[in-house]
Structure 1
Amino acid sequence: MDTSRLLRTSGTLAAAAALLLSALTAGPSTPTASAAARPQDRDEPGTTLAADPAGLLRPFYAQKLSWHSCTGKGAGFECASMKVPLDYAAPHGGDITLALSRKRATDPSARLGSLLVNPGGPGGSAIGYLQGHAATKYPAEVRARYDLVAVDPRGVGRSTPVTCLSDSEMDRYAQADPNPRTTAQARSYVANLKKFSQGCATHAGRILKHVSTVEAARDMDVLRELLGDSKLHYVGASYGTFLGATYAELFPSRVGRLVLDGALDPSLGAERVNREQAAGFQTAFTSFARDCARHVDCPLGTSGPDDAGKHLRAFLAGLSGHPLPAGDSRRLTEGLATTGVIAAMYDEGAWPALRKALADAAGGDGTVLLALSDAYYERDERGAYSNLMAANSAVNCLDAPAAFRGPDGVRQALPAFRKVSPVLGEALAWASLGCAYWPVHPTGHPHRITARGAAPILVVGTTRDPATPYPWARALASQLSSGRLLTYDGDGHTAYTRGSECVDEAVDSYLLTRTPPPASRRCS
């Protein structure tokens, strides 16, 4: 199981699991050695290269984009590519290619500019999110007045992707027992993590040191210039909120209309992020259990969340040595089942699918629960994985120090994780060990982001969000010097375009008129 610090919109999960479902966290980072050569943060538009007297960045900011019609699943969209430095501290030392896609404004006469979108992850494909969600789910007036633009961040999707394991190796990696209960099981768990990390070191090459959020934010500024915009307009969900906040920190005078939906608190260390996320998933499970109890076919009983949690823990533990058949040749292990449950917590629209999955599993069929897990991992019907998990680890482990340095640290933290999440706490504690064996040292550390001098930035928080708990949105909004918090009293991960007219109207008004909602605005 690999679920630690994976943050992306529920819309992304829904697209990946269309059969069933109708956003880890990134640890924060600060400017690193690779960011040392950046332009001055407060340059006014038109002076982008003022802090680059040697002209090393000029070729990147002056390149021309060549747009053409996308092919395949991207039909109806435009595609292009751009070059960015591998290392901003040494721009002459080589470049990498980033993939772009665009859907032009439907009313060019009223066009406001470009609106970049990012679904989170880290590791989620922004191009996939644009083509599969934003271009049809964003409100018509927003699509009329903005060119919707996506860039797969460096290391992600089509942009010089990080790779670590083959598809068959990923199958074995995902099946791992999420709760080592003996010393031998812990050794096996660690060996699995080390194999993954070593695979990344072998296959990802030079890019592994250069996929930080700071560098991705700098890439967005290059793209802003190439699109002809003096300000960056942006909607970032989940981890995408940290990417957007980092951009605001680096380039506050270039902030246009930034929507940060399902926010991270950049001041928190990795262990606390993971523990508070465990609490968020417990909150979501409690909501699911209460909803499940209203149905006579609830496979977890109707006695309440505590009993439901006991039933689920017993079911998952029982899979440890006795996986269930799931389809023609695959089997549902404890690790895959746990991931399937977590996947359904992202979106209350997936709760009926989870009820069915657990009921089927109780009858000996793990097919539906395995499908939920596959959606989370972005494993397709052919058994091929996207590079989501590889990129997720690569960014997270570069952005912040590891939550734990070894199994002993996890064991010491288990009581605290169990306390906040009796159902999933242990598994999420062990999942927090992933960066302990990473082959590249982190370049960032937790810190507050103020982005002093930026235009108003809209932060959206959902009260029962499992992956980015609501207090994180409050924290980020209070840290940002121009932050404005919009609260959605509801379930699921993120809020924009997820069914709340109140949220959508507030966000749309901000994007279209530059006016954020009142500070006390609350939607339900």
Structure 2
Amino acid sequence: MATVLVLATATGCDSGDKNTSRAASVPTGLGQFYGQKPAWKSCRNGFECATVQVPLDYTKPSGEKVGISLIRLPAEDKSERIGSLLTNPGGPGGSGVDFVRQAARSFGTDLRRRFDIVGFDPRGVASSAPVRCNTGPQLDEFFATDASPDDPNETNRLGSESKAFAQRCKAKADAELPYVGTLNAARDMDVLRGALGDQKLTYYGASYGTYLGAFYAEQFPKNVRALVLDGAVDPKLSSTDLLIEQAKGFETALRAFADNCVKSGGCAFGNTPDAVIDKVSSFLTSTDKKPLNNTRDSRKVTESLAVMGIARALYVKEYWPVLRQALTQAMQKGDGTLLLALADEMVERKANGTYSNQTDANMAVNCVDKPNPANLATYGKAAAQAKKVAPRFGPFVVWGGLPCVYWPAQTEQAPHPITAKGAAPIVVIGTIRDPATPYKWAQSLAGQLSSGVLLTFDGDGHTAYLQGNSCITKATDEYLISADPPKNGTTCR
């Protein structure tokens, strides 16, 4: 369950002035990439699609190339168009093409009027030379394996499954694995900026997309026009510390769900938040001993799949009624069908048993982005620490990253603070009860960035901008259009 969301010449007013400053320089040897002109073609419902080439290895620009898939919803007012708003929905492993196709028209009215809303599949993801390691049945087995081992045999089995995952990636994608990390994806973003005709980058990144955006700002600070980093990931944390803190975030979200259940009335799980959480804990313990049946297929709903289903529902507050229904069915009838449906949605498993490449790509990026513990025993210590501070989610979240211990590709660099000195103001949005990217990460990233500005959403759910809060929408849209940030420390409710 590892962390399982460009400007043409401006013709407008004051915001155009900030976007038509001297063009960014092209890195040596990369002119052929920056000078590309995407061949946009209609791809249904008002969208246009294209492909831009980037080098697989930036140290060998004349070598193998990777096609980066793009999609855009053109600006509605060509006379007032500022340029393109590049976006990334997170993951790592999330398809930016799918994100824009699904969510572009949910962006603010003023943004859609003045920007092309652009999405891209990062290298290794979806339609951009996807990393594919596992078959559907292999991923079914991986996700169903007990990720909260109670004895050495269960721990060793988890280790064997994780090692097999890594070995399959080596067998099927060995040549790609060293180059799919965030460092190279950020370089690709600057090529996209140039190929799209933008002198500086305007960007919205959610979840892992904040990490990608921060890496971009670190490498190309002078090319930043306006960056919104929504649901921040803290770049200075180690791989296991990130997972432990994420697990604590899910615990915070579970308590918010429990509180909401009690206050809404008719909560079937208890009369106090503590009682609800105790009931969920007891349910998970019983599921560990006796997995649930489901009516979708022959799979058993193990404790790991049940936790994954709960976690998926905690991402979005609108899913909380669904979670109440899923838990009621599971606890009262022994029916894990709805929990399994939520778990399948989390990892993009289709009804026919196939998966998108989200899981393979997620692991491939995470495993090269940061160093990992050297062996199973050392990794187990981090999982034990996670269980102490996040009893329900800690083991599952941390053990989910175990394949990285056996990963065949080397880590790009050690964790470190990102300052992006010299960059224009960068807005970091944090949601106080965010389950997947804890609020403290937004506080930390905004503090690290030399030009960081913290915008807080006092709410629930993962990321803030597309939740429809008028205060967040107004502050974000005004900044992206004008490049003038809101006051540091602004809070929206």
TM-score by length of 1: 0.88
- Cα deviations by residue, 1:465-522 (Å, 9 ceiling, x for unpaired): 1111111111111111111110111111111020211111100110122211111311
Is 1:48–2:25 an aligned residue pair?
A: yes
Is 1:369–2:339 an aligned residue pair?
A: yes
Preserved CA contact (<8 Å) 1:282 1:420: no
Paired position in structure 2 for 1:312: 280
Separation of aligned partners in 2, 1:448 and 1:298:
43
1:172 shift after superposition: 1.5
Is 1:384–2:354 an aligned residue pair?
A: yes
Paired position in structure 2 for 1:329: 297
1:298 shift after superposition: 2.7
- Cα deviations by residue, 1:73-105 (Å, 9 ceiling, x for unpaired): x54311111111010011122111111111100
1:296 shift after superposition: 4.7
Paired position in structure 2 for 1:253: 222
- Cα deviations by residue, 1:44-78 (Å, 9 ceiling, x for unpaired): 854523x51xxx312212222111111xxx54311
* Equivalent residue runs for 1:255-334 within 5 Å: 255-305=224-274, 307-330=275-298, 331-334=300-303
Give the letter for the 2:42 counterpart.
Answer: S
TM-score by length of 2: 0.93
Q: Which is worse superposed, 502-511 or 427-436?
A: 427-436
Separation of aligned partners in 2, 1:407 and 1:290:
37
Paired position in structure 1 for 2:10: none
Specify which of 349, 368, 385 is matched with residue 318 of structure 2: 349
Is 1:66–2:34 an aligned residue pair?
A: no
Task: Indicate the RMSD between aligned Cα atoms, in angstroms.
Answer: 1.5
- Cα deviations by residue, 1:434-485 (Å, 9 ceiling, x for unpaired): 3111111211211111111111111101111111111111111111111111
Preserved CA contact (<8 Å) 1:208 1:394: yes
Paired position in structure 1 for 2:371: 401
Q: Which runs of 5+ in 2 are unaligned?
A: 6-20
- SS where residue 319 of structure 1 aligns? helix
Paired position in structure 2 for 1:516: 485
Specify which of 30, 33, 39 is matched with residue 57 of structure 1: 30
Specify which of 75, 78, 100 is matched with residue 130 of structure 1: 100
Is 1:468–2:437 an aligned residue pair?
A: yes
Paired position in structure 1 for 2:455: 486
Preserved CA contact (<8 Å) 2:457 2:464: yes
Specify which of 137, 146, 164 is matched with residue 115 of structure 2: 146
Paired position in structure 1 for 2:8: none
Q: How many residue pairs align between the two structures?
A: 476
1:195 shift after superposition: 1.3
Preserved CA contact (<8 Å) 2:455 2:490: yes
Separation of aligned partners in 2, 1:126 and 1:507:
20
- Cα deviations by residue, 1:326-356 (Å, 9 ceiling, x for unpaired): 1242331211111001111111111110000
- SS where residue 232 of structure 2 aligns? coil
1:430 shift after superposition: 2.2
Preserved CA contact (<8 Å) 1:298 1:359: no
- SS where residue 350 of structure 1 aligns? helix
Preserved CA contact (<8 Å) 2:122 2:128: yes
Separation of aligned partners in 2, 1:326 and 1:108:
52
Separation of aligned partners in 1, 2:146 and 2:22:
52
- Cα deviations by residue, 1:137-178 (Å, 9 ceiling, x for unpaired): 111111010001111000001000000101121111111111
Preserved CA contact (<8 Å) 1:234 1:258: yes
Preserved CA contact (<8 Å) 2:24 2:199: no
Specify which of 376, 385, 388 is matched with residue 416 of structure 1: 385
Is 1:227–2:196 an aligned residue pair?
A: yes
